[in-house]
Amino acid sequence: VGMQGVAVAETATQKALAYANDRRQGKAANYNGNGMAPIVHHPDVQRNLLTMKALTQIARAISYSCAHAIDNARISSGDEAAHWQERANLLTPLAKAFSTDVGVEVASFGLQVHGGMGFIEETGAAALYRDARIAPIYEGTNGIQAIDLVTRKLPLGSGEHVHGYIAELKAIANQVRTSNLQGFGRTADALDQALDDLGQATRFLQGLLADGRSDEALAGATPYLRLISLAAGGAYLARGALADQSRVALCRFFAENLLGEAGALKERVIGGAESLAAAGKTLISA
């Protein structure tokens, strides 16, 4: 199901990128050709397309990392097999929920890039958006995946496995900081901040579970799932960029334009339960 989300997102991205290079509208300062510029030259269209590319690559990386953990659990034995099984268990709700959310989100961006042409059936962009919407629902709704992550996966390894995973991601951020590659900008700082936010949110939720305050923990489950996915995804983008300099620009774009969401998600995890419970009472009719 996670790979279905990745596939829809990739298809929507390719379709939108091709359309943006063909469709002409308005003037653009960075276009030197004759007549109207292809819309790919407009900064807002570029932002949409780069967001689509970054989210798609993150969802793919998380899903592949989950598959990698499953394979290693199968071919290993003893403590090593147990470690990889815990890693697969931790990443499974991310691969399912985040990737299918991304499929919907990226397909929606694709419609926006197509404009009015995207809303009709001729381009196929609307069909991708419509078809993507089922994936966060079947095979366990994404809300259930978030509950599973918080209540069953954060306690793995006496609560230490997730912190070991965060430490691995922090090591990637440090590699960026010490790399001689050019073009990373503020990527290392952004990754460090997002991973610090993730660590705080993780410890907070684990504390609530230890105190038996499960309803408060569940109030933050969905924002926590997105937080850990974005933070991990940013590190995965960085790891790819360290191996292939052609990926540095997209990694920096994500870190400096999108990864700041992690801080807001942490605040929702830590400070959102009380207001949610209070407002939730107004919804109950019986």
**46 in Cβ contact with 40 (< 8 Å):** yes
Q: Identify the sign of the CA torsion 151, 157, 159, 163.
A: negative
Q: 52-84 burial by CB neighbour count: b if 16+ within 10 A, else e? A: bbbbbbbbbbbbbbbeebbebbeeeeeeeeebb
155's tokens? 């306690």
Q: Is 139 one of the catalytic residues?
A: yes
Catalytic residue among 86, 121, 122, 139: 139
Tell me the one-letter amino acid at 78.
Answer: G
Longest dimension (CA), the chain: 67
24 bridge partner residues: 38
Straight-line distance from the first to the last Cα atom of the chain, in angstroms, rounded to the nearest whole number: 36
Tell me the one-letter amino acid at 267.
Answer: E
Report CA-CA distances (Å) from 191 to 82, 163, 182, 225.
Answer: 28, 16, 17, 17
Residue 171: count other Cβ atoms within 10 Å of its Cβ. Answer: 11
Which DSSP symbol is given to 37?
A: P
Q: Which residue has tokens 């299918």?
A: 100
Catalytically annotated residues: 139
